[in-house]
Amino acid sequence: MLPREGFITTDDGVRLFFQKLGNSPNAVIIPNAVHMFDSFKGLADDRTVIFFDLRSRGRSDAVSDDSKLARGIHQDVDDLEAVRRHFGIDRVDVLGHSYQGLGIVLYALKYPSHVNRLVQIGAMQPHAATQYPAHLTNADATLAEFHAKLAQLQQEGGSGDLQEPGKKFWAAMRMLMVANPADAGKIQWTPPYEYPNELSFMKHWTQNVLPSIQALTFTPQELAKMKAPLLAVHGTKDRQAPYGGGREWVSLLPDARLLTVENSAHVPWIEAPELVFGAIRTFLDGRWPEAAKAVLRETQ
């Protein structure tokens, strides 16, 4: 099945690249097509799946006007809504990985009437400053080695050619994203260094997206208003978004369950595909996966 591809123009004139598969009335939207399309296109067997690249990411427009990036994660939320409106879908399922796992909660709180179900995978924690116990945080030697390599790349800096450092960064990042180094080669999405937007994303991340996330303050009363069921999929060895964060999301939300993926890191669908994709399909079909469990606040 070949995807329909094109661009959606937002209210402020930024074009977002999209890929659409399937023609079912049941639709799921997935941000970050640049990373997610190849892995999740199989969901279109029995539903419509719409992937899109966030502004200044992947094949979407590069944005040079800082005012169109300054809102960070909140702009991503409104761009997701622009995608929904473009396709005229009243209620959608939404799947978000990593920091977009947090973004989809913001979306459900801001646009509750347009959300059916939410899937978080390796989501950033609810409160950026929270420190979890060691058994809920995989701060291991691989993470330390990655930070050392990143510091070295930043020191080397300055040649103007981002391709070579981009390749080195991606090689290190792939190792960070899996628990078993042998699984790094299974991450088959197009390397970020092949997209100019991805090469320059770190500036947008540090100046806009991360500060907007760090400024968030979710109150129990606010989160209690979220009625959409949420499935959190989280690896116990996640280095980039601690497993404790996945547990905390489920303990805070009124209708949420956690699929724990043992001995998996930030891309659990790569390391345990049958478990993860089976659970996601079951959930999007309207049922809780058998392996998904509630988490009580006091058990963290």
pLDDT by position in tens, the chain (length 300): 678 999 999 999 999 999 999 989 999 999 999 999 999 999 999 999 999 999 999 999 999 999 999 999 999 999 999 999 999 999 999 999 999 999 999 999 999 999 999 999 999 999 999 999 999 998 888 888 888 887 887 777 655 556 677 788 888 888 899 999 999 989 877 777 788 999 889 899 999 999 999 999 999 899 999 999 999 999 999 999 999 999 999 999 999 999 999 999 999 999 999 999 999 999 999 999 999 999 987 544
d(CA 65, CA 207): 13
pLDDT at residue 188 in the model: 76
d(CA 110, CA 148): 39
pLDDT at residue 86 in the model: 97
How far the first Cα of the chain sits from its last, in Å, is 44
* Residues sharing a CB contact under 8 Å with residue 96, sequence separation 6 or more, in sequence order: 30, 31, 102, 103, 104, 118, 119, 120, 121, 123
Q: Which residues pair with 52 in a beta bridge?
A: 18, 31
d(CA 6, CA 15): 9
Q: Which of 83, 118, 91 is nearest to 103 (CA)?
A: 118
pLDDT at residue 162 in the model: 60
pLDDT at residue 164 in the model: 74
pLDDT at residue 31 in the model: 98
Domains of the chain: 4-299 (3.40.50.1820)
Complete edge-to-edge strand list for the sheet that includes strand 27-31 = 4-9, 15-21, 48-52, 27-31, 92-97, 115-121, 230-235, 256-261
pLDDT at residue 265 in the model: 96
d(CA 52, CA 85): 13
d(CA 170, CA 217): 32
What is the DSSP code (8-state) at residue 150? H
Q: Which of 233, 234, 235, 232 is nearest to 264 (CA)?
A: 235
Inter-residue long-range contacts of 177-185, CB under 8 Å, 24+ positions, other chains counted:
177/240, 177/265, 177/266, 177/267, 177/270, 178/264, 178/265, 178/266, 178/267, 178/270, 178/271, 179/138, 179/235, 179/237, 179/263, 179/264, 179/265, 179/271, 180/263, 180/271, 183/270, 183/271
CA dihedral 82, 87, 89, 92 (to 10 degrees): -60
